[in-house]
A and B are shown apart, each in its own frame.
Chain A
Amino acid sequence: MIESAVSVLAAMMLGLGSFFMISGALGILRFPDFYSRMHAASMTDTLGTYLIIGGLMFTAGWGLPLFKLTLILVFIFFTSPTAGHALAKSAQLSELRLGGEQSGSAKPGAGGVHSDQHPDSRDLARADRV
């Protein structure tokens, strides 16, 4: 009885995790600019990953695999924002160099729109206002 409940819970978590994964990948494909894609990627790295690893943990039962899955979970929990921040900061530096459009939020009015990403001038206006 309890075992079947656990396996149903595990299947639900795996299914939900797959759903968030697919949504994140869809976002990575559909969103118009780099920073928006980063939000979609961070979605696959947070809840999608937690749910899939959680489902596997329920499947694993007690033992060393459970401990190792916990380690993977903790590791991804701490590294994915670090990687995301490094990516954003690196993008910021590169677009500053190119005089890109997103860097306008750091230095409004510096340089024109250059790249094939969407030139979202509303960003600049908002950043000035805030």
Chain B
Amino acid sequence: MTTKKSVKATDSGLRYSLYLSLVLGLIWLGNSGHYSPLLLAFGALSVFLVVWIARRMRVVDGESQPFHMSFRLLAYYGWLFRKIVESNIKVAGCAWRGRSAISPVSARVPCALQSDLSRVIYANSITLTPGTVTVSLDKGELLVHALTESGIAELQTGEMEGRVARLDQ
């Protein structure tokens, strides 16, 4: 929440508010299952309330709703899911073989990503893959703890970072 919003966000703010209302409305409809006029009115009211509060908190922008990268984000999460499956199998093997199979190691991994959003996506993806956890996120580098040395080595090849960097173009 440290990012300061620029003034030009106000004209696109309406667009993001509309997107947010649409998403919230869909979630409300899906969760409710009752479609009488009274309940629909309550739903519209609560959506309006939430959007109003979110606008007051100044979190309605391209950072909370990264529509400009939605399709690339889907492709990225598809790739990430494959990584998650692979590393899950590795960590499960380690768990069954016991503590002789692991060699916990922590290291600082350089991170050249510029925008806050892509750095958060990168750190989040590292934490999401079992076997590596982002412990702290500073400017320019991440402190990563890994279950085995190969986890750190894999991050240092920079494949994941490259993919995250391509999201933001």
A-side residues, CB < 8 A to B, are 19-20, 23-24, 26-27, 30-33, 35-36, 38-40, 42-43, 46-47, 64, 67-68, 71, 77, 80-82, 84-85, 88-89, 91-92, 102, 105-106, 120, 122-123, 126-127, 130
B-side residues, CB < 8 A to A, are 27, 30-31, 33, 84-85, 88, 91-92, 94-96, 98-99, 102-108, 123-125, 127-137, 143, 145, 147, 149, 152
Contact A88 B31, beta carbon cutoff 8 Å = no
| A58, chain B: closest CB distance, angstroms | 17
Cβ–Cβ < 8 Å partners of A31 in chain B: 95, 99, 102
Between A and B, 16 residue pairs with Cβ closer than 8 Å are A23-B91, A35-B106, A35-B135, A35-B145, A38-B133, A39-B91, A43-B88, A43-B130, A47-B84, A47-B85, A81-B124, A89-B135, A92-B136, A105-B135, A122-B103, A126-B106
Contact of B88 among A46, A102, A130 (CB under 8 A): A46
- Contacts beyond the supplied A81-B125, A102-B145, A122-B103: 8 A-B pairs with Cβ under 8 Å: A27-B94, A27-B95, A46-B130, A85-B135, A105-B106, A106-B143, A130-B108, A130-B152
| B29, chain A: closest CB distance, angstroms | 9
Cβ–Cβ < 8 Å partners of B134 in chain A: 85, 88
Cβ–Cβ < 8 Å partners of A81 in chain B: 124-125, 127-128
Contact of B107 among A26, A68, A126 (CB under 8 A): A126
Contact of A36 among B104, B107, B123 (CB under 8 A): B104
Q: Please report the C-alpha to C-alpha distance between residue A71 and residue B99 in the assembled complex, in whole angstroms.
A: 36
